[in-house]
Amino acid sequence: MERLLLVRYGEIGLKGRNRHVFEEKLADNMRAALADIEGAKVNREYGRIFVRLEDEGRTGEALERLQRVFGIVAVNPALRVPLDLEAIREAAAMLVRAEGDPPRTFRVSARRAYKRFPHTSQELNHLVGAYVLRHVPHLTVQLTDPDVTVTVEVREHAAYVYADQVDGPGGLPVGASSRALLLLSGGIDSPVAGWMAMKRGIELHAVHYHSPPFTSERSKQKVIDLCRVLARWSPAPVPLHVVHFTEVQKEIHRHVPQELGITVMRRFMLRIGERLARRLDAMALVTGESVGQVASQTLESMAAINAVTNMPILRPLVGFDKHEIIQRAQRIHTYDISILPYEDCCTIFVPERPATRPSLAAVEAAERAMAVEELVQQALENVETLHVEPAPAYVGA
């Protein structure tokens, strides 16, 4: 009998070569997540991924890490036993006895993937259930909503028996999709957008536009801290590129009619972002924009902003209400950092009445007074790159 963690991942639609790449990536990312748990081993066997721990006392810790590995749907701490009814029965009884809160009701849910095993799933339910009833006191069978469900999976090489399940975050393993550059402000939205992009397997870099002395060191630190939280979901440190944006902001202030200031500022963010992305081999930009939230997020405004680039822009929050975004931010622990009061570059120069329907012609006319290309070049020459390591685990996260 062997203890191990049985890892489930979304298998549907993953066929042929894709599946192989997906599994390999997922196993690698799991190894990265478990790197400092000594003696933790991740193996792909029989079309499954298993984790074995030398020190069983670290199971809780390992499960906590695996809950932040995208691609994992669920993890079951399981017993692997030979294809033998007695071994399966004993494992089932052992698991029920080991439940922290002694269960009063239970059921067995058997699945026979290996059809040559002499008992059908139905028979197994009865045979294993009866054994557990006989060997664990004060227990009754209850088919709907029991305190504990013992699952038995019979496969060709062995049977797996488990009673507990920890949910993973789902999605695809980071790195299974290409790389993208997240425009990361200190706000609530963009960290959540970055998390959702990572969930689709995207490897993230982040860019932050920083405008000292109008924005303080503390506001920059806030962005680093947000990046540290995102890095907890990543198999490697997240590169954060800090672009000095003061000169651009000043030039906008000097030349652009106030009500168009934000539109022009966002256009600069995209221009610089696109160039930086190409330099980094990133295929797309990611923003925390949603439709209708603020003046710069009307479709008219997005059109005027988007006109400077052909690069795909992912806006994972587009269909979310603010309330849903906040809930997600709380769940991933970016919220408390995001609501710290430090100014961001946009709050400094925000006009009283930004245009909600800026026309592209008016915006382009305003920019004619600026040395656009020079400003972009200059900003790109002055990029500071930090490789942001994950923040330590939150208790109970």
- Are 4 and 76 a contacting pair, CB within 8 Å? no
Least distance in Å: CB of 190 to Mg ion? 7
* Binding of Mg ion by 261 (CB under 5 A): no
Give residue 175's region: left, alpha or beta (phi > 0; psi -120 to 50). left
* Binding of Mg ion by 219 (CB under 5 A): no
Binding-site member from 103, 288, 358, 390 for ligand ATP (CB under 6 A): 288
- Are 311 and 286 a contacting pair, CB within 8 Å? no
184 makes contact, choosing from Mg ion, ligand ATP, none, with CB < 5 to 8 Å by partner type, with ligand ATP
Least distance in Å: CB of 7 to ligand ATP? 33
Least distance in Å: CB of 187 to ligand ATP? 2
- Are 314 and 306 a contacting pair, CB within 8 Å? no
Tokens in use for 279? 């330099």
Q: CA 96 from chain center: how many Å?
A: 33
Identity of the residue, 153 or 189, whose beta carbon is nearer to Mg ion in the bound complex: 189
Least distance in Å: CB of 220 to ligand ATP? 10
Least distance in Å: CB of 208 to ligand ATP? 4
State the Cα–Cα distance between residues 253 and 264, nearest whole angstrom. 10
Q: Which position's Cβ is nearest Mg ion?
A: 187
Identity of the residue, 53 or 188, whose beta carbon is nearer to ligand ATP in the bound complex: 188
Q: Which residue, 205, 183, 194, 216, is CA-closest to 344?
A: 216
- CB atoms < 10 A from the CB of 159, how many? 26
Give, as ranges, the residues between 267 and 286 that touch ligand ATP (CB under 6 A).
Answer: 269
* Binding of Mg ion by 187 (CB under 5 A): yes
Give, as ranges, the residues between 110 and 129 that touch ligand ATP (CB under 6 A).
Answer: none
Binding-site member from 90, 153, 274, 344 for ligand ATP (CB under 6 A): 344
Least distance in Å: CB of 189 to Mg ion? 7
* Binding of ligand ATP by 208 (CB under 6 A): yes
* Binding of ligand ATP by 163 (CB under 6 A): no
The CA-atom distances, in angstroms, between 122 and each of 106, 218, 350 are 16, 62, 67
* Binding of ligand ATP by 209 (CB under 6 A): yes
State the Cα–Cα distance between residues 332 and 326, nearest whole angstrom. 10
Q: Which residue, 170, 172, 168, is CA-closest to 203?
A: 172
- Start-to-end C-alpha separation, the chain: 31
Binding-site member from 150, 183, 197, 248 for ligand ATP (CB under 6 A): 183
Give, as ranges, the residues between 213 and 272 that touch ligand ATP (CB under 6 A).
Answer: 269
Residues 6+ apart with CB under 8 A from 98: none
Identity of the residue, 151 or 219, whose beta carbon is nearer to Mg ion in the bound complex: 219
Least distance in Å: CB of 282 to ligand ATP? 14
- The residues that bridge with 79 in the sheet, in sequence order, are 3, 161
Q: CA 164 from chain center: how many Å?
A: 23
State the Cα–Cα distance between residues 270 and 148, nearest whole angstrom. 53
Least distance in Å: CB of 259 to ligand ATP? 15
Least distance in Å: CB of 281 to ligand ATP? 20
State the Cα–Cα distance between residues 125 and 132, nearest whole angstrom. 11
Give, as ranges, the residues between 156 and 185 that touch Mg ion (CB under 5 A).
Answer: 185
* Binding of ligand ATP by 197 (CB under 6 A): no
40 makes contact, choosing from Mg ion, ligand ATP, none, with CB < 5 to 8 Å by partner type, with none
Q: Which position's Cβ is nearest ligand ATP?
A: 187
Give residue 275's region: left, alpha or beta (phi > 0; psi -120 to 50). alpha
Q: Which residue, 226, 209, 207, 194, is CA-closest to 337?
A: 226
Binding site for ligand ATP (CB under 6 A): 183-185, 187-190, 207-209, 269, 287-289, 293-294, 296, 344-346
Binding site for Mg ion (CB under 5 A): 185, 187
